[in-house]
Amino acid sequence: MKEFIFPRFSREIEEELKEAGITHLLSAGKVKVNNVIALGKGKTGVVALTPDLKVIKIRRTDSPKSSMEMECKYQRSAYPVSPKVFLCGKNFILMELADGRELSKKPFPEDLKLALISARELEKLKVQHKELSRPWKNVIVNENKAFILDYDSATFKPEPKNVTKILSSIPELRELGIKYSKGEIDFEKLLDLIYLYL
């Protein structure tokens, strides 16, 4: 587990993880961290797999955030669009594994439709994600749904714009995004039109 505390070891983080019952992590994924492989690594955390196939995000020791508690709050508020949070602390979030594949930069219409439905659900929950301008980094899709991950820069807003952010990330859909944001088409019509644009 020590190898996943990055970039410098922290006894405080190690002790908090042990107190939460997290003593071992699997070297699995696609990102090298120290001498192990992790599921992911970003500016605030390292994401790893537990032996019981849950996911843990561990705060980086050089993170600009001093705590993960607000991120945990936003992620809990975003459920079931986000993976379910089981436990969190100052330095970690333990959550369910989002089963699926990353949204492609050139997504299939069916995958994009699922991503937009989830983005719309976040809007209903008043959660603005803020990192959906590159959805291929934060959206996992399977046959039934899309999970939206990573809430470290999320906020609550009266009128979030998650759907428009995703649309603006795909050149072929920018025009459609403008029409949607101006209210020229509603959400159901938007979903129907995707097939014509991709």
User: What CATH number did the domain enclosing 183 receive?
Assistant: 1.10.510
Tell me the β-bridge partners of 136. Answer: none
Same domain, 81 and 114: no
Number of domains into which the chain is organized: 2
Domain boundary (72, 95, 118) is at 95
Q: Which two tokens stand for residue 109?
A: 């219409």
- Burial, 59: exposed, middle or buried (Cβ in 10 Å; 0-12, 13-18, 19+)? buried
Same domain, 156 and 109: yes
- How many angstroms separate the CA atoms of 188 and 191, rounded? 5
Same domain, 10 and 72: yes
Among 169, 163, 175, 102, which Cα is nearest to 136's? 102
Longest dimension (CA), the chain: 55
In the predicted structure, residue 197 carries a pLDDT above the cut 90? no
Domain boundary (76, 95, 114) is at 95
Same domain, 122 and 148: yes
Same domain, 133 and 188: yes
- How many angstroms separate the CA atoms of 95 and 66, rounded? 20
Mean pLDDT of 133-158: 96
In the predicted structure, residue 191 carries a pLDDT above the cut 90? yes
| Residue 172: per-residue pLDDT | 94
Q: Which domain holds residue 54?
A: 2-95
CATH code of the domain covering residue 51: 3.30.200
Same domain, 142 and 60: no
Backbone angles phi, psi at 69, to 5 degrees: -65, -40
Same domain, 116 and 169: yes
Same domain, 8 and 85: yes
Domain boundary (95, 128, 162) is at 95
| Residue 107: per-residue pLDDT | 95
For 49-83, what is each residue's pLDDT tens digit? 999 999 999 999 999 999 999 999 999 999 999 99
